[in-house]
Structure 1
Amino acid sequence: MKKILLILVILFVSNSYAKNNQAKFFEVVKSLCGQTFNGKTVYPEDPDHSFAGKKLVMHIKDCSEKEIRIPFKVGEDTSRTWILTKTEKGLLFKHDHRHDDGTPHELTMYGGHSDDRGTELSQSFPADKETHKLVPAGKTNVWTISFDENKKHFIYYLERHAKPRYKAIFDLTRLD
């Protein structure tokens, strides 16, 4: 009985710690609301990658107590928005893709909920069931969005099959 009680206490404390870090992370992102930052693709270094050589711009905007919308521009393509939402399960990170007329792309709203390993400066989001259906090959996707320790860079990182797939870094010291 003591072991079960100890396990329950550990799970409760662990869950509280994770939720506290998720809330702190959300506030760090929200503190940048209204600002625009330039970035660059750092992986893959493949010159044929669709983002290669294109200017990356993220605009942290539309911030509320529960949601932050971050339009993400690749070259002239403005079809992407990252959405960070507080939910009962923790933080939810989704990719909203839209056509020029505002209608959703066929492949949109993929992402997942934060796991329990995150910190105030970094959160990881394993692919959810909706993503598994939309992108069967992306079943093992894990997106990580983070800040370096000095909060000078915002990093967007994607792994698939526990291997690097894409990484972009945004300079937070220079406003666009």
Structure 2
Amino acid sequence: MISPTYAHAKMSYSPAPLVSIATQDAFFNQIKQLCGQSFVGQVTVDNAGPSSFSEEKLVMHVRKCTDSELQIPFHVGEDASRTWIITKTGSGLSLKHDHRHDDGSHDKSTMYGGHTVDAGWDNVQSFPADQYSKELFVELGIPQSVGNTWQMFVYPDKFSYRLIRQGREFRVDFDLTSRIINPPAPWGYSDKTHN
């Protein structure tokens, strides 16, 4: 039999607070303020040469925001397969890349990313590849990606997404001073979840 004291304690339980340090809160909240908005970007660094990223229209859409998670689809032309997911974990921030096929099913290369290992700054956070991602990259035959670090920068007029590893750098800058019409939901997501 449950004691009255235990039953009362159970009823008054509330979820643990979302704990985060000041720099990561500031970074998260700056992106969260853009919720519901979309912006055009362009490749500003790509030492591997021209690709579909440099030839297609690039759009980021800060689509869904909660106190603990940001969903940011990254459209490359008509390709709506990519969504960046930033999550407060209690020990920092996680960045994941949700990759889908146009039927909504997951790509074999999905949910890779990294986790912060230091305080970062109000405007910049770095996400070195996590263990899941390292093992996935080896399994997919791209072991060079084990050394990936993703970085995001957010300033009043610009948001940047950057990938770096030994011998590789890729960066897209988005103009935050000029909003555009929001694109359709990314593959595998529903417009009903739009914020």
TM-score relative to the length of structure 2: 0.76
Q: Which structure 2 residues correspond to residues 1-176 of structure 1 after superposition, within 5 A?
A: 19-44=21-46, 48-135=50-137, 136-148=143-155, 151-161=156-166, 163-176=167-180
How far is 1:137 from its partner? 2.1
Rg (Cα) greater in structure:
2
What secondary structure sits across from 1:88 in the alignment?
coil
Does the Cα contact within 8 Å between 1:60 and 1:69 map onto a contact in 2?
A: yes
> Which digits, 9 at most, give the CA deviation of each residue in 1:97-146, with x for residues without a partner?
00011110000001111121411111000000011011132111110000
What secondary structure sits across from 2:67 in the alignment?
coil
How far is 1:20 from its partner? 1.4
Does the Cα contact within 8 Å between 1:21 and 1:120 map onto a contact in 2?
A: yes
Counterparts of 1:71 and 1:137, CA distance in 2: 25
TM-score relative to the length of structure 1: 0.84
The higher-RCO structure (CA 8 Å, 6+ apart) is 2
> Which digits, 9 at most, give the CA deviation of each residue in 1:14-64, with x for residues without a partner?
xxxx82111111101100000000001112166642312211000001100
List runs of 5+ in structure 1 lacking aligned partners: 1-17
Does the Cα contact within 8 Å between 1:47 and 1:53 map onto a contact in 2?
A: no
Give aligned pairs, total.
156
List runs of 5+ in structure 2 lacking aligned partners: 1-19, 138-142, 181-195
Cα RMSD of the aligned pairs, angstroms, is 1.5
